Structure 1
Amino acid sequence: MNAAVGGPTEQRILHVFRAPVGGLFRHVLDLARIQASTGHQVGLVCDASTGGERAARALADLAPCLALGITRLPMRRNPHPSDFLTLRAVSRHAEAVGATVLHGHGAKGGVYARLAVVRGVDPIRAYTPHGGSYNYKPGTLSHRLYMSIERGLALRTDVFLFESEYVAGRHRAYAGDPYRITRIVHNGIADAEFAPVIPAEDRYDLLYIGELRDAKGVPFLLDALLRLRAAGYPLRLLMVGSGPDADLLAARVVEMGLGEAVAFEPPQAIRAVLARGRIMVVPSLAESLPYVVLEAAAACQPLVATNVGGIPEIFGPAASQLVPSRDGKALADAITKILDADPETTRLRFEALAASVKARFSMTRMGSDVLSGYAAALRARAEAARPAIASTMP
């Protein structure tokens, strides 16, 4: 493996995840580039049916960096009998490429990476949850089921690489294993993402960027918009994204009488979208450490977000500015505060947030911390093997 990981040869790292969309996908792409650039051989395994043309282009751009290639297999979001066939395919692929590290991302990727059977070598099993099953409400049947699965899978995990203190805390509370190596590896962004965004000439008042589903709190954003328009603010909202509730949300917009105030567009590069809006709103009900908040904060975008998951870790000293989730009135009040504030005050407020994010969320540090986690797991394996080797000596 690479000297950065504690040895003379490179690792053969296979990242396994389901959907090539959103922040999880960005995280994997960034990690793969960093690891390839530092001398490791890297490959990806992901779902064959999601992500569309945008994911296909991103994977094609990355492909020249990937010595172990890109393998796309059918993967379902929820548990399904076909998971056994996919697990067998992942196992065979990991064996064929000689993977020495299997890094699972998200709940489904974590299952495949940790249960894969690789003959001839037992790879290090790393797991980054990205929220996923840890976001279910404690006490519910779904939460109890998924946490019992996580407890079992912990026995097949060499190192947990949590992207936020929040998810690490949920793991300790409901699925923890004190004997497993754990690291907090915050998502990181590049210096170029802190460059100013040049505003478009015709801007929307509000922006939403993300999955179109109720779990992201979109109904509460629509409620806030309705309240603001009733209070005399003739605001327009641009919603950029896709998701399982897209048609339902579009119908709800019309039912609420907001058809002329809300526009929907497919996923696209975030900085181009930030240039088209004055205030970004993140109304999430649950999150881990969302890239969309990091990216908006880096660009000094005026931002209203809910106090959930790892978002307070991003805001740091400014976490008191966050609003409660599931509260359209609180969202509307926070938006009003920005609309009514002196522009210079708003500029200084979000420049301070950008400076704080730049100091704490480095892409370089993220890559180094992941490799450090692998190294710790490799050392633990080596130390565990020593007594067994010693006991066989005459």
Structure 2
Amino acid sequence: MNVVDTRVPDARAPLRLLKVVPTLLCGGTENQVMALCRSLNHGRTDLEMACLRRLGPFVKEIDDRRIPLAEYPIESFYSLNALAQQAKFARHLTRRRTQIVHAYNFYGNVFAVPPARLAGTPVVIASIRDLGLYLTPMQKRVQRYVCKLADRVLVNADAVKDWLVRDGYAPEKIVVIPNGVDVSRFSAPREPSRLRCELELPPDVPLVAVVSRLTRLKGLEQFLEAAALVGQRFPQARFLVVGETPPHDPTYLDDLKALAGRLCIGDRVIFTGLRSDVPALLANVTVSVMPSLNEALSNALLESMAAGAPIVATRVGGTPEVLTDGKTGLLVPAADVPSLATSIARLLDAPILAAQLGRAARQVIEERYSITRMAATTENLYRDLLTRHARKTERRGIRHERAARETHGQWLGTLTSLVDRPALPIAEPACSVHVVTDDAEFLALEAEWNETVERARIGHPFLRHEWLRTWWECFGRGCRLHILIVRRGGRIAAIAPLLSDTTRSYGISIRRLRLLHNDHTPRADFIVAEQPEESYRAIWKALCEQRDRWDVLQLSQLPEGSPTLDTVSSLAAEDGCLSGVWPSGDAPYVRLAGNWDEYYSRLSSKFRQNVRNRLSRLTRLGEPALETVIDGAALLGAREDAFRLEASGWKAEAGTSIDSDPAVHRFYALLAERASQHRWLHLLFLTVNGERIATSYGARYGNRLFLFKTGYDPAHAQCSPFKLLIYFAVRHAFAEGLTEVDFLGDAEPWKLEWTPTTRAHHWLFVFANTSRARVLHHAKFRLAPVLKRWRA
């Protein structure tokens, strides 16, 4: 039995404290837990620890320090073993009469808080030290409920507190104690030549470093892209990536190395792996970079500041709470590669400014973020909560003590019976909808997103994550993500890739939800992978619940046969919302039935004669051939030739070429880098004697070839080089066994020479059930057509 101690604790007595972490791997939370364990006053703290897996480099240190460490192995929280382990944990707390349980992160909180609370532990603390992007909506709800049982929720940044309050947590229960750094570890003198000698580099080479666990939210891809830009101005610079990949994503390091190769900086990027001399390393780098896409409060940031390193960091999470732009470092927007590169180059250009920022950063750490300060604040919190509990219990008296003992006994009995009871059947999970508005959360969905696209059997790449991510980064300025994610049982069932913005239509200012689409995305839609009726209804219900935020839902460039058109129109009508449809372009495509000779013989004789004449003219200049570039490094080099050809002639004069608009240029440049990793992007060239004279971006996806962004060298106009490129491309598609060549876009005459078959597209407009939206519908679908006919 757990006897509740009603006496106010003696401030001199050791606290019986138990800390719970999922594992003891080398991560941010684990580093902070261990730093705190080293710094707590051991004469005033009787410490023990628990974990769910006895795994990681800190296990040895805990054993060496003779801190008791218990393992409660759990493979799944849906298993009866999880309940058995929680019962075992509760019995341990009872026997030891533990005064404080402090759990960390989602799995630690879910495991430890309920049994600690129900076992009668006087003080129970949950810790949340990130912004939870890896959590499913169900996991977020579970953690929110669990944290209601805790006395306090300890976070490490105001940004985390603000997120939790928005998510429904009680603000009065949340305590902010920032991370701390052992400043004494960062007091060694600078020895820049030693580090460069170890890396076999000249003594004056600038070193730009990222110290981070190698995970996909750390912005390492953006760092490498920025490094490629910085390297153009500072070819002698070298770029360090310090850290190791986590067990759940062992191939990510290979992905980063491959990206460095495609960016042609593979020989200037050094992947050092995990290092134990981080303080000395940071003291001797030229610039320390924190490119994270999402962060609560980075240990690497604090350590870089403690080392006096000049810092460039992204403006995410708690970073701006610590780093002041222009005073202790430079801040840039997340995922903004040009800004990141510019700021790194600025510090490389201005060593005096860099040194000033580094000194100011070190002073901030000494004054506000030392581990000594963090440990004292945390211990004060422990003792304050324990004192509050004792006084509250003393006021309630013996009746409360008896009730606590009875509750504890009943709970253990119930838990034991559950462990012995046969498992009940699990109900079919219902749909849940989550709205993604944060860029970093969107980026974190990449693997799940593309897996959903594949399950939805979407036969083109224009809804893949790398396409929409690139589109958003290049064209999303002034807009806000509003992506609806439908899940069933934790797995994504459907995605509505929407954004929100404001615009004017017929003189009326409107709030609009629309697909991530403009003229540079040939086809758009919702992504529905399973249970379409239920998924569409869940999307519509979520839209209706937020109807006060939009006047018009605009779904543009829906392809013929998409169920979105009819289904969303019907659901809107059920709720009294008006809708209307506009026809868009008809995209020509070639069905590759039979063989090339049969297909080509069906084209008009006049057209075939023209092709023969053009081919004959070109052959006089040399041997024509189709060149297809797929592989990363070669593709990035060929990309510049494609841009040059695409900008030749009338497009550059009309201002419609890729190079005419920086956002458009960035879109197609980034798309080439990212899509090449998945090997669906092909750059097609018509060559003569090895010279590239016509081009098209191509997407080889499934058994289809999509052609977009075309161009040719006007010096060879008499040979119609682009017509001959299509000739060779379609013939090659037949040879490869493809089923379709899609020209995309509108039904232009040159496309219809190759095929009479087209695929229609439509724009669907849905208007909220408000007077304002009804006026807009009337203007768009009644008055405007009448005025158009009258003017004609």
The residue number in structure 2 matching 1:261 is 268
Distance 1:118 1:106 in 2: 17
- CA deviation after TM superposition for structure 1 residue 30, in Å: 2.1
Q: Which residue in the other structure is 2:169 paired with?
A: 176
Is residue 19–residue 46 contact of structure 1 (8 Å, CA) maintained in 2? yes
- How far the C-alpha of 1:42 sits from its partner, in A, is 0.3
Kindly provide the CA deviation profile for residues 368-388 of structure 1, in whole angstroms up to 9, marking residues without a partner as x: 211222233223323443453
Gaps of 5+ in 2: 197-205, 401-792
Aligned to 2:106: 107
Deviation at 1:183, TM superposition (A): 2.2
Q: In the alignment, what sits opposite 1:321? A: 330
After superposition, the Cα gap between the structure-2 partners of 1:241 and 1:185, relative to the gap in structure 1 and judged at 3 Å, is same
Q: CA, structure 1 residues 47+349, in 2 after alignment: closer, same or farther (shift >3 Å)?
A: same
Measured in 2, the distance between the counterparts of 1:328 and 1:224 equals 5
1:329-340 alignment runs, 5 A limit: 329-340=338-349
SS at match of 2:13: coil
1:153 has 2:153 as partner: no
Alpha-carbon distance change, 313 to 263 in structure 1, aligned in 2, over 3 angstroms: same
TM superposition shift of 1:90: 3.6
Name stretches of at least 5 consecutive residues in structure 1 with no aligned partner.
none
Correspondence 1:380 to 2:392: no
Per the TM alignment, residue 222 of structure 1 is displaced from its structure 2 partner at its CA by 0.8
For the structure 1 residues 174 and 391, does the alpha-carbon distance in structure 2 shift closer, same or farther, using more than 3 Å as the test?
same
Deviations along 1:62-102, one digit per CA (max 9) or x if unpaired, are x23x3xx12244456x9664654553454344345432211
Q: Which deviations, in whole Å up to 9, do the C-alpha atoms of 1:198-245 show, x marking residues without a partner?
A: 234253611111111111111100110111223453422121111222
Matched-pair contact (CA < 8 Å) for 1:92–1:118: no
After TM superposition, the structure 1 = structure 2 runs for residues 283-362 of structure 1, keeping only pairs within 5 Å, are 283-316=291-324, 318=327, 321-341=330-350, 343-362=351-370
The SS at the match of 1:19 is coil
How does 1:212-251 map onto structure 2 within 5 Å?
212-243=214-245, 244=249, 245-251=252-258
Q: Is the 8 A contact 2:283 2:307 kept in 1?
A: no
Q: Does the alignment pair 1:116 with 2:115?
A: yes
Distance 2:281 2:228 in 1: 23
Number of aligned residue pairs: 376
Measure, in 2, the Cα distance between the counterparts of 1:291 and 1:152: 28
Find the counterpart in structure 1 of residue 528 from structure 2.
Answer: none
How large is the RMSD of aligned CA atoms in angstroms?
Answer: 3.0
Q: Deviation at 1:339?
A: 0.7
Separation of aligned partners in 2, 1:275 and 1:7: 40
Equivalent of 2:62, from 44, 56, 59?
A: 59
| TM-superposition CA deviations, 1:298-330 (whole Å, max 9, x none) | 111121111111111221473782111111111
AA aligned opposite 1:265? T
Q: CA deviation at 1:197?
A: 4.2
Distance, in Å, in 2 between the alignment partners of 1:120 and 1:218 is: 44
Structure 2 residue 244 is matched with structure 1 residue 252: no
Q: Match of 1:167?
A: 160
Given residue 274 of structure 2, which amino acid in structure 1 is its aligned partner?
A: P
How far the C-alpha of 1:271 sits from its partner, in A, is: 1.2
Structure 1 segment 93-104 matched on structure 2, within 5 A: 93-104=92-103
In structure 2, do the counterparts of structure 1 residues 97 and 17 end up closer, same or farther at CA, with 3 Å as the change threshold?
same
The one-letter code sitting in structure 2 at the alignment partner of 1:362 is S
Shift of 1:110: 1.6
- Structure 2 residue 213 is the aligned partner of structure 1 residue 211: yes
Which one has more relative contact order, counting CA pairs under 8 Å at least 6 apart?
A: 1
Q: Secondary structure of the equivalent of 2:332? A: coil
Distance 1:14 1:373, change over 3 A: same
Does the Cα contact within 8 Å between 2:51 and 2:71 map onto a contact in 1? yes
In structure 2, distance between residues paired with 1:288 and 1:9: 34
What's the secondary structure of 2:241's corresponding residue? Answer: strand
Structure 1 residues 94 and 238, CA, compared in 2 at 3 Å: closer, same or farther?
farther
Note if contact 1:126-1:374 (Cα within 8 Å) is conserved in structure 2. no
Structure 1 residues 391 and 121, CA gap change in structure 2 (3 angstroms): closer
SS of equivalent residue, structure 1 residue 161 = strand
Q: CA 1:196 to 1:344, structure 2 compared with 1: closer, same or farther past 3 Å?
A: farther
Note if contact 1:212-1:241 (Cα within 8 Å) is conserved in structure 2. yes
1:199 equivalent to 2:191? Answer yes
CA 1:254–1:46 in structure 2 vs 1: closer, same or farther (change >3 Å)? farther
In the alignment, the residues of structure 2 paired with residue 351 and residue 362 of structure 1 have an alpha-carbon distance, to the nearest angstrom, of 16
C-alpha separation in 2, matches of 1:44 and 1:36: 16
CA radius of gyration, larger in: 2
| Secondary structure, aligned partner of 2:112 | helix
What TM-score comes out, normalization by structure 2 length?
0.44
Question: 2:358 corresponds to which letter in structure 1?
Answer: F
Q: Could you tell me the TM-score, scaled by structure 1's length?
A: 0.85
* Letter of the 2:156 counterpart: E
* Contact kept? 2:304, 2:311, Cα under 8 Å: yes
